[in-house]
Structure 1
């Protein structure tokens, strides 16, 4: 409940540093008069994140104060009896129903009395009309209408309420105090469109949607944060504003509540958080690149083509690297609680390379992928990326976090044009290649030969890549492949060998790849 005393001041939101996981650091400015201020709006915030400071003077103390007051509310009457009791001497129009019986037939008769209510006792109503005093039973009243301008229709209910405010005391003539707190209820979600209309250069466009369920703010500086925040205590309330008893608060930090110190909890945004699924990456991984804020005009969103065909100009904004987080600054942002705000952020053109890839498995299909370098000088966050060509959607994929000057890879679509096949033949089996201490065979060494074949029915040559994993030791690959070997497998006997071929596949061309490898298997299997 907001106190109405003149000494109570309302903090102004001046800046918000926003993560993608639903948390934001909010900074409010509190005006100080005569080294003192009373504030009601001190939020429930995360442990360790509530701070007060001033650039002039010194903050002396911040103390919570519970102030009692008498509150009067009006409770509407729910019954006629209450109305009559409270309005003796007021004018009413009564409609009274009488029951008559004649020759065995029952009938009802309605009579209207317009007059001043003189008494209501023991179910008997007395009304003074122009024709004299009229008496009738209360239970005969069908309707009554008040004709007096001062009719009382509610009773006053008085009760005591306790209102909490925070007394801020300063020294040395401080003019204002800044209050920072980590609060839940605000997030932002990036999104990207990638135009592939040009054969060798793509246009990358970023947008941002801000979700605000926390508070109203106007003309504030907003910082969009990219990086993984280590907010270990975000789910534990700060003791100053928790509203909890001593025992309850101590339980919350000692393992008696989720995220407590004793329980080892670190919160969804801390190092202890885990990624529940792929969608969770959008909110828990790198928070992301936010750039120039501008409301979308009807021309911006009229067609897909207007988004992807160069209708926006790339713009940079101020930003800075702080530890392993990157902050992008948006100036003069206003948004109401419960509102959503959609803005275009930035755009850039960059060369890209298209490669068709296959994992060498039967029936797995060929993927159409693109690679490009992040040349913005800033990180690009994890988010959904939709790919367009000549205004039409051609694919969608997950844009993983991409640091500045590093390469990004996206799957555009699955290509059904290419024909692929896999065949494997057993070449030799050396029974008992490994024996136990008693000379009994335990492992056989089998030699396999696998042939991979891919055909390009397209009218253009394409860049193609095959990357296949073999369990066992590879003896030969033709054509020779790049190979990465890891010593794992059945009891360490079989390594994993990852073979990669990168090549040009001509129009209408078919290429074959042969791999011979040996693998240990249990005897008799």
Structure 2
């Protein structure tokens, strides 16, 4: 068995090969986190005198998002510097790990026995091979997917094969590795050094800032995000406890006592997929490829957004959630900042923590959404296009009790501590009502149907096309098999002009298709159904059907 005696340590840079430059270590003062992985970073460093300050941990900022905020005169250069690195980390390649060391080798005994041979000498240092620099190869496209670029070819590093090569006064000796029993390093360890090129950012300060001599930097970058979640527990007497939590993930830069702000909203970040040309790993090829992408036509972009709905604030309803009524309460700020205090997170760290909670009242309802069976031209959708959504659901209805919006996030609903459901809560403004579905209302039987009434059908000419005007009667049938009264919130969608409806529903235009030939409308009822009660509700409308 080989015995190896080596010093261990870390790889670190010891000096820059440019005289008169001052190391700069910007302190990250605050970070503002969006849920899609983009962050607003604010940092500063001290520059009380004119000179060139070198930052060797330059950020991968977003195009157009890097700014110097200082009352001094400062210019910035992205360049490279040659650095000396001390190498003391064993790689397992003895020729490299022991290069320049004086060693004593004890070899394995031969088959005939006797004393084990001992060989001494200085380990020959392999010549360094030229390597084409490449800190990164690729870029993020508009859908935040990594697009790789073929890296440049590099020279194969030199190797001594299965031999350890020693130098002595008599020349070089090649010792087969399998014959070595142990290695001892003679004298103090020699720390090997190697020279390498590293991207840096140079701040040329010709006039120091008056603001305490600090140069302040603000930039947008990818690599910091927060993922919120809610837990809502239904208690007795219609009480609802809302707990909030978040997971913060850091893959960008080390944070030490840094103010962390959670940002909710849906800002327009037009160039989030474009790396700044100031970044050390940037190339003009990748830069112009990113700029040239049509973000509205990226393949799979819509699917990616759907898969990451929890990362984006949205006011549109998912299939299992009712659309919040924006007329009920005042709208909150479109961007909301919530501080979680000063935090320390190394790159790769995640932080999970509770956020302030609140209590409010809630109402248990049964929500039934009857989807529009027609397209904008009055034609019935095929069975393959019909979505299985015309089912009643037990739902939780409440008003946001916080003085800030509830951002889009997953929510777990419990009752008395017992699990009821998990779903997605959309953006809810302060004082706004929303409805979250929980379980299918299997003990409430519902059925919807439509028939075209007989009679003369008028031909209508619209925009150069023929349409047939017909009258449709819709029927909603309900039967409560529960042993208690239930409250139903019913929303029936249709395309056309309203004629009449039972029980005085609220009629309103839907947001989609308001300029189509047939206006897209919906009727809203709130009905109470006693135990065992059956009820039928009808409505009539006219619709133009394209030939």
User: What TM-score do you get using the length of structure 1 for normalisation?
Assistant: 0.69
| Structure with larger RCO (C-alpha < 8 A, sep 6+) | 2
1:328 is the counterpart of 2:338: yes
Q: By how many angstroms is 1:217 displaced?
A: 1.1
Distance 1:507 1:226 in 2: 43
Counterpart residue number, 1:457: 481
Show the counterpart of 2:374.
Answer: none
Of 390, 408, 415, the match for 1:389: 415
Instruction: Report 1:199-238 matches (<5 A).
Output: 199-238=237-276
Give yes or no for the alignment of 1:46 onto 2:72. no
Matches within 5 A, 1:96-175: 96=110, 109-112=112-115, 114=117, 143-145=179-181, 150=186, 161=197, 164-169=200-205, 170-171=207-208, 175=213
Offset from partner CA, 1:229-252 (integer Å, 9 cap, x none): 22112222323334445x54xx72
SS in 2 for 1:208: strand
Query: Out of 354, 379, 391, which is 2:364 matched to?
Result: 354
- Alignment CA distance shift 1:366-1:168 (3 Å): same
2:32 to 4, 9, 17: 17
Is residue 194–residue 203 contact of structure 1 (8 Å, CA) maintained in 2? yes
CA RMSD of aligned residues (A): 4.5
Partner in structure 1 of residue 318 of structure 2 = none
Task: Please list, as runs of the form range in 1=range in 2, the aligned pairs for 1:252-401 lying within 5 A after superposition.
Answer: 252=287, 256-258=288-290, 260=291, 263-265=293-295, 276-285=304-313, 324-360=334-370, 364-401=390-427
1:31 aligns with 2:46: yes
C-alpha distance in 2 between matches for 1:218 and 1:366: 51
Report the 3-state secondary structure (helix = DSSP H, G, I; strand = E; otherwise coil) of the residue aligned with 1:405. Answer: coil
Taking a change above 3 Å as real, the CA distance of residues 230 and 391 of structure 1, as seen in their structure-2 partners, is same
1:434 aligns with 2:459: yes
- Kept in 2, the 8 Å contact 1:25–1:182? The answer is yes
In terms of mean alpha carbon deviation, does 70-79 or 333-342 score higher?
A: 70-79
Shift of 1:266: 8.5
Render the CA deviation track for 1:409-452: whole Å, top value 9, x for unaligned: 2112211111223455665244x64399xxxxx87766554443
Q: By how many angstroms is 1:405 displaced?
A: 2.2
Instruction: State whether residues 48 and 208 of structure 2, in contact with CA within 8 Å, keep that contact through their aligned partners in structure 1.
Output: no
2:61, 2:276 within 8 Å by CA — same for their partners in 1?
Answer: yes
Count of aligned pairs between the two proteins: 437
Quote the Cα distance in structure 2 between the aligned partners of 1:41 and 1:207: 32
The equivalent position to 1:420 in structure 2, one of 441, 446, 463, is: 446
Supply the distance in 1 between the matched residues of 2:196 and 2:260 (Cα, whole angstroms).
41
Change (3 A) 1:111 1:30: same
Matching residue of 2:502:
478
Match of 2:525 among 501, 504, 513: 501
Give the one of 176, 183, 207 matched to 2:221. Answer: 183
Who wins on radius of gyration, i.e. which is larger?
A: 1
1:126-148 deviation line (CA, Å, top 9, x unaligned): xxxxxxxxxxx999997345687
Alpha-carbon distance between aligned partners in 1 of 2:332 and 2:529, rounded to the nearest angstrom: 46
1:469 aligns with 2:493: yes
Cα distance, 1:165–1:198 mapped onto 2, change above 3 Å: same
Q: Distance in 2 between matches of 1:142 and 1:203?
A: 69
TM-score by length of 2: 0.66
Report what 1:314 is aligned to. none
Aligned pair partner of 1:59 in 59, 65, 73: 73
1:344 shift after superposition: 0.8
> Deviation string for 1:384-428 (max 9, x for gaps)?
111111110112221111122222221122111112234556652
Contact 1:456 1:508 in 2 (8 A): yes
Does structure 2 conserve the Cα–Cα contact (< 8 Å) formed by 1:23 and 1:185?
A: yes
Contact 1:52 1:59 in 2 (8 A): no
Which of 273-282 and 227-236 deviates more? 273-282
**Equivalent position SS for 1:183:** strand
Q: 1:160 Cα shift?
A: 5.7
Matched residue of 1:21: which SS?
coil
Shift of 1:24: 0.7
Q: Say if 2:483 and 2:532, in contact at 8 Å, map to a contact too.
A: yes
